[in-house]
Structure 1
Amino acid sequence: MTDHETADETEFEPSEYDLTIERTFDAPRERVWEAWTDPEQVAQWWGPKGFTVPNCEMDVRPGGSFSIDMEAPDGTIYPDEGVFHEVDEPERLVVTSRAFEDDDGDFQLEVRQTVTFADRDGVTELTLEAEVLTATPEVAEAIDGMEQGWSESLDKLEAYVGQSASDAK
């Protein structure tokens, strides 16, 4: 059992999983923005190490939706879907994602992510804030790894935008 897991639902506090990650990318802000908002590019880096994205659909506009399927190394598909609330190109995205649908069709996890892209003399400072809006104790183990999963995804994004920038030269 992890620190967050508990058998007693009254002790489970989803907000304990909120996190903020800051990362600097050696790539122009517009390049990082495109990698984050173009579904073909998102499919190249999304998900923790070893995961792939067999399906990625995005309608990047306020009120637009997205659907991303992550495939684990063991073949398990983890669907994630949600909606864009704010799209301020190339500075800010606010989305809510929902995952872990139960047998009744209810999502066991809902997270609001705010991603900001700051231009710092040709490099990009990205800040990701993840606020867990709802979570059931059944997904505690999965969200216990949320920070590591985001960190590994951002590692893949860093490699992707660096590679893509060098390919363009």
Structure 2
Amino acid sequence: MSELRIERSYSIDATQLYAYLTRAEYLVQWWGPEGASVSAASLDLSRPGPWSITIETPRGPFEMTGEVLKVEPGRLVEFTMDVPGQNAPDSTVRFEIVPDGARRSRLTLVQSGITDDMVEMGKRGWGGTLARLERVMGLAGA
């Protein structure tokens, strides 16, 4: 199994970034690939427990599910992620946030338990998804 690691730095404090990464009202605005929208969600990554989201894409809807495993408010959230119907193993995703100076934060996204082929797919998928997050935060091009 392989691991995907993506790091980004943002002009936003750690508390605000954590809210965008964990609260349902923000997640439904940015989760998923470019051109997608959320049609249903039970999505709260700020507390341990199950989550699910249905994403509408030009190729049709797909549902993702998982379990929030670990939460350290303002600093870390870790969860499993399963895309039913896909020929892929369940994986674990971790968002780590570190303050990086005045009103700056560094996000490290780590997805583990994936195949080598999924690393390349994940780079593209998470890259587009994080670009959507940046637009929602008002930091496009950050």
Q: TM-score, normalised by structure 2?
A: 0.85
Number of residue equivalences: 136
2:17 alignment counterpart? 32
Judging changes above 3 Å, is the alpha-carbon distance between structure 1 residues 148 and 78 closer, same or farther for their aligned structure 2 residues?
A: same
Residues 1:162 and 2:142 are matched in the alignment: no
1:89 alignment counterpart? 73
Query: Cα RMSD between the aligned structures?
Result: 2.0
1:28-52 Cα deviation digits (max 9, x unpaired) = 2111111111112101011111111
Q: 2:47 aligns with which of 61, 68, 74?
A: 61
Counting helix residues as a fraction of each chain, which structure ranks higher? 1
Contact 1:35–1:42 (Cα < 8 Å) also in 2: yes
Contact 1:40–1:56 (Cα < 8 Å) also in 2: no
The code of the aligned residue for 1:84 comes to: V
Residues 1:146 and 2:122 are matched in the alignment: yes
Structure 2 gaps of 5+ residues are none
The code of the aligned residue for 1:90 comes to: G
1:110 alignment counterpart? 90
**SS of residue matched to 1:101:** coil
Q: C-alpha separation between the residues in 2 aligned to 1:115 and 1:44?
A: 17
Q: C-alpha separation between the residues in 2 aligned to 1:143 and 1:116?
A: 19
1:49 alignment counterpart? 34
**SS of residue matched to 1:50:** coil
Contact 1:100–1:109 (Cα < 8 Å) also in 2: no
- Structure 1 residue 144: deviation in Å? 4.5
The code of the aligned residue for 1:69 comes to: T
The code of the aligned residue for 2:80 comes to: T
Contact 2:4–2:119 (Cα < 8 Å) also in 1: no
Q: C-alpha separation between the residues in 2 aligned to 1:67 and 1:55?
A: 8
Of structures 1 and 2, the larger Rg is shown by 1
- Structure 1 residue 80: deviation in Å? 0.6
Q: TM-score, normalised by structure 1?
A: 0.72
Query: After TM superposition, which residue ranges in structure 1, 4 or more long, deviate above 2 angstroms?
Result: none
Structure 1 gaps of 5+ residues are 1-14, 164-169
Q: 1:101 aligns with which of 55, 70, 85?
A: 85
Deviates more, 1:107-116 or 1:36-45: 107-116
What fraction of aligned residue pairs are identical, expressed as a percent?
A: 24
